[in-house]
Each structure stands twice: as C-alpha cells, then as structure tokens.
Structure 1
Amino acid sequence: MIGILLLTHEDFGAAMLKSASLIVGEVPGTLSVGLNRGDDIAMFCDLVQQTIEKIDEGDGVLVFVDLFGASPYNAMAMASARVKNKFRCISGLSFPMLLEALTMRASYNLDDLAVHCMNSGAEGVKELIAEMGRM
C-alpha cells in the first residue's frame, strides 16, 4: 500500500485526516506532521525523513504539502536528498486530492497516483453559480 504523508503548517494536516476519516473510514498508512511556530527546521527535516521511512510499506509514499515554497515544502526538498524511499511530493494539498489518494492508492502505482491526485485537485475547484448554469 502506498503511504500518505501530509506536511503542513500547525494542525492543518491532522484536521484534514480527521475529516477524511469521517468520509472514508480508517486511514491506515497515513500520517500528518505539522510544523509549529518555533520548530527547528533541521529537526523537522529529520522527522520528515523518519516518517517517510516509517510509513513506506514498499510501494512508496505520496507526500502532500500545504503550500508551494513554504517551510514544509522546503523541508521536504531538503530532506529529499537523504530519503532513500521512493516518494512523490505534491504541493497545494486539497481535500479532493486527499480523498482521491486515500480511495485510489490500491489501484495505482505511486507515479500514476500522484498525477491522478493533481488532476483531482484541479477538477475539485468549482464556482457554484457557474456549475448551476447561471451567469
């Protein structure tokens, strides 16, 4: 099973996982690591590497970060040189992306799951009035 790791500011990732479990049930092989105010970035990088190693069952890990170029993203970039496990990292974490990752990870390999989740994230953005056919 592909592991799923959320790297976010504070408790955003933990709240996303809690909400996802309400819809899809248990979410094994999935963890969230939040970067809190005052955290040491080097220690956070070490924790990222250790968490990837912990949840990888052999099929790799799909890492979601909340914001491109922000500290969790940069920490993943720094840790990536030391991570020996196969992983893919997607920025711009959204609820549609996460739900697709959780429900489709048994159906895809890591590379295809990453592409599928990015597409789902883009397709999940809608404007109500336009969707109702009114302009």
Structure 2
Amino acid sequence: MIKIVISTHGKLAQELVSSAEVVAGKQSNLYVIKKSDNDSLAQMQNKINNLLKNINDEDGTLILTDIIGGSPCNASTPACKSFNTEILSGVNLPMVLSAIFLSKNTKTVSDLAEKVLFDGQKSIINVKKMLLNKIK
C-alpha cells in the first residue's frame, strides 16, 4: 500500500491526521513529520530520509506539505532522487482524506498524486457564490 507522509510547520500535520482519522478511522499508512522552531533544513531532510528508509517499499510514498518554498517542502524534494516519492504542496483535509481512501486501490504513487491534487483543488470553493448561483 502507498504510504502517506504529511510534513508541515508546527502541529498542522498532526491535527490534519487527527481530523482525517475522525472520518476515516485509524490509518496504518499515514505518517507525520513536523518542523519545530529549531529545526534546520538539514535536520528536516534527515527526519524525512530516516522516515522514508523505515517505511519505504516498492509502492512508494506520497508526501503532502503545507506551503511551497517552506522548509517541509524544500526538505522533501531531495528524497525524490533516492525514493519512489511524489510531493504535493498546499495540503488540506480533503487532500488527506482523498489520499487515505485512494491509496488502497491506486497502483502507482504518481497516479495517486494526480488524483489527490485534483481532489484538493476541487475542494476549494466560494460557498457564497455557489449558493447564490443555485438560487438563481
């Protein structure tokens, strides 16, 4: 099964996992890496590499990060050279849920990344406009 790593600043990753598990139940393929105030880029890279060494298998790993250009994202990119990984930035709860549900039946990590990206983008909606358009 494809593994999912959520890497963010502070407690966001753990809170996303906690919220996702309220909906989807406890997950065995979901991992968290947080950047604390004192972590350097090299320390973040070590955290990511060590985790990937411990969990990696031929199915690959999808890494979800909070913001492009942030330390969690930047620290993840070198892992693409050594591991079967895909990285998506801008993680939100719909992306985490999509990754959880689709990871069980998606064959490749690149296919999973495409589907999760689509679901994440699709979930960002101006609700007021949507409701007003339905009323017309």
TM-score, length basis structure 1:
0.91
User: After TM superposition, which residue ranges in structure 1, 4 or more long, deviate above 3 angstroms?
Assistant: 78-81
Normalized per residue, which structure has more helix? 2
CA contact (8 A) 1:96 1:124 kept: yes
- The separation in 1 between residues aligned to 2:118 and 2:79, in whole angstroms, is 26
User: Structure 1 residues 134, 52: CA separation in 2 closer, same or farther (over 3 Å shift)?
Assistant: farther
TM-score, length basis structure 2:
0.91
- Which structure 2 residues correspond to residues 1-80 of structure 1 after superposition, within 5 A? 1-80=1-80
- Number of residue-to-residue matches in the alignment: 133
In structure 2, the partner of 1:107 is: 105
CA contact (8 A) 1:5 1:61 kept: yes
Structure 1, gaps ≥5 residues long? none
- The separation in 1 between residues aligned to 2:59 and 2:21, in whole angstroms, is 22
Structure 2, gaps ≥5 residues long? none
Give the aligned CA root-mean-square deviation in angstroms. 1.4
Identity over aligned residues, as a percent? 23
CA contact (8 A) 1:64 1:90 kept: yes
CA contact (8 A) 1:46 1:79 kept: no
- The separation in 1 between residues aligned to 2:9 and 2:135, in whole angstroms, is 37
